[in-house]
């Protein structure tokens, strides 16, 4: 799988929404929308209403990351708003994982499962064959700008090995501190989708087009080092 980039829109400048979305629509692979309820994490960010507005101005896949205590209360409205992926935390769905996974699928959306840093991969073994995307948090959830948790590199490698050994089809995604300092490590470990926020994209330049070009240059330089180290 080629490497994909998913801007985290909680980090964008909402006063420049149209300008930034117009630029990102021709460059990004998908959009990452954080929905927080103030309970699962002590923050409140975007909403299903934001997704419905975004849906009117983009054809890109929209991924709704439900950092909420009761995802069952958000699945219907998020799907109806236009989300293509609905990503729920294993920590919140394991009471009714199969029912909620099938609820997402019944809406025609793809299923994402998210693991907090301290949550082991094995938690999702009963239903991993049903998911489309596995998101590994490399920071504790809830706030942008946290430092990368290096121990998560091992979990990414394990997720890739698990996929290959069992012929699963999920994409591996990393949420948290995807930037110049971590691109190479994450790519080497086997990550497919990079969620890029402040440090990985929006803080690189006030102009979103320049920021994107800087991000891609940095990423290409880092992954080129991998190819030099491990020539085919």
The answer to whether 145 is annotated as binding is yes
Give the end-to-end CA distance of the chain in Å, rounded to a whole number.
17
The answer to whether 108 is annotated as binding is no
The answer to whether 175 is annotated as binding is yes
The answer to whether 187 is annotated as binding is no
The answer to whether 65 is annotated as binding is yes
Catalytic-labelled residue, pool 37, 63, 84, 175:
175
DSSP per position, the chain: ---EEEEBGGGS-GGGHHHHHHHHHTT-S-EEEEEE-SSSSS-----HHHHHHHHTT--S-EEEEEE-S-GGGTHHHHHHHT-SEEEEEHHHHTTSHHHHHHHHHHTTPEEEEEE-TTS-GGGGTTTGGG-SEEEEESS-TT-SSPPP-TTHHHHHHHHHHHHHHHT--PEEEEES--STTTHHHHHHHT--EEEE-IIIIITS-SSHHHHHHHHHHHHHHHHHHHHHHS--
The answer to whether 183 is annotated as binding is no
Catalytic-labelled residue, pool 13, 34, 76, 84:
34
- Residue located via tokens 């799988």: 1
Length of the chain: 232
The answer to whether 112 is annotated as binding is no
Active site residue 84: no
The answer to whether 144 is annotated as binding is yes
- Residue located via tokens 């840093």: 117
Active site residue 34: yes
The answer to whether 125 is annotated as binding is no
Instruction: Give the C-alpha separation, 40 to 102, whole Å.
Output: 22
Which residues does the annotation place in the binding site for a divalent metal cation? 32, 34, 65, 175
Which residues does the annotation place in the binding site? 32, 34, 65, 142-145, 175-177
Q: Which residues are catalytic?
A: 34, 175
Which residues does the annotation place in the binding site for substrate? 65, 142-145, 175-177
């Amino acid at each position: 799988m080629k490497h994909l980039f998913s801007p985290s829109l909680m980090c964008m400048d909402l006063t420049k929404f149209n300008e930034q979305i117009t630029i990102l629509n021709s460059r990004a692979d998908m959009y990452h929308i954080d929905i927080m309820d103030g309970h699962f994490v002590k923050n409140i960010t975007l909403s299903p209403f934001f997704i419905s507005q975004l849906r009117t101005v983009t054809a890109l896949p929209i991924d709704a990351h439900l950092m909420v205590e009761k995802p069952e209360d958000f699945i219907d409205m998020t799907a109806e708003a236009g989300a293509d992926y609905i990503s729920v935390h294993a920590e919140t769905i394991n009471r009714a994982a199969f029912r909620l996974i099938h609820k997402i699928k019944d809406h025609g959306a793809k299923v994402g499962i998210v693991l907090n840093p301290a949550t082991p991969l094995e938690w999702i073994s009963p239903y991993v064959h049903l998911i489309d995307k596995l998101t590994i948090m490399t920071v504790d959830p809830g706030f942008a700008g946290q430092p990368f948790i290096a121990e998560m590199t091992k979990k990414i490698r394990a997720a890739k090995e698990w996929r290959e050994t069992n012929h699963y089809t999920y994409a591996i995604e990393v949420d948290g501190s995807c930037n110049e300092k971590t691109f190479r490590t994450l790519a080497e470990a086997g990550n497919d989708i990079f969620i890029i926020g402040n440090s990985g994209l929006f803080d690189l330049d006030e102009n979103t087009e320049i920021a994107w070009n800087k991000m891609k240059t940095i990423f290409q330089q880092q992954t080129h080092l991998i190819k030099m180290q491990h020539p085919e």
